[in-house]
A = this chain, B = another copy of it.
Amino acid sequence: QRQRFLDGFAEVMMSFHRLSDVDIDELAERWRQLSSGADRAVLGHELTLFLMRNPEARETVAAQRLDIIRSLGEFISKNVARIGGTLTIEAEMLARVILAANDGITLDSHLDGEDLYRPYLQLVMSSVRT
């Protein structure tokens, strides 16, 4: 499910060819579509709480978590290089921050009826410099 989310995002990213092409409104709109039900974000929060309560389960999912982090990190590296930008935060670390923050951004956007996708993506994009 997270892969589908990333693929949907990737599609928009691929339409940008230079840093100046990057349209945060378009990225935010895609996020809004992809997370309309918020189910994925609820599952993410539940999994986090489950792992907090059950330390012995962490190892079982550690490899999978690392895979997701690495694949998002690579996606970020490649795309930032493709549009001619450089990162102010190391790609894999940025991937970790994004994965840690995303679900909360989605859920609070739902709960408060306030679109946090755009300002959040603006923050994330501020880690890319020309």
**Chain A: residues with CB nearer than 8 A to chain B?**
38, 42, 45-46, 48-49, 51-52, 58, 62, 65, 88-90, 93-94, 96-97, 99-105, 107-112, 114, 116, 119-120, 122-124, 126-127
Q: How far is the CA of A116 from the CA of B98 in the complex (A)?
A: 10
Flag if A96 contacts B111 (CB, 8 Å): no
Residues of B within 8 A of A108 (CB): 48, 96, 99-100
Given that A100-B107, A104-B101, A124-B123 are contacting pairs, would A38 and B65 also be in contact in the complex, using a CB cutoff of 8 Å?
A: no
Residues of B within 8 A of A104 (CB): 48, 100-104
Residues of B within 8 A of A88 (CB): 122, 126
> Secondary structure at chain A's binding surface: helix, strand, loop or mixed?
helix
User: Can you sample 17 A-B contacts with CB below 8 Å?
Assistant: A38-B52, A45-B49, A48-B104, A48-B107, A65-B112, A88-B122, A96-B114, A97-B105, A100-B109, A101-B104, A101-B105, A102-B104, A104-B104, A122-B127, A123-B124, A123-B127, A126-B126
Residues of B within 8 A of A114 (CB): 93, 96
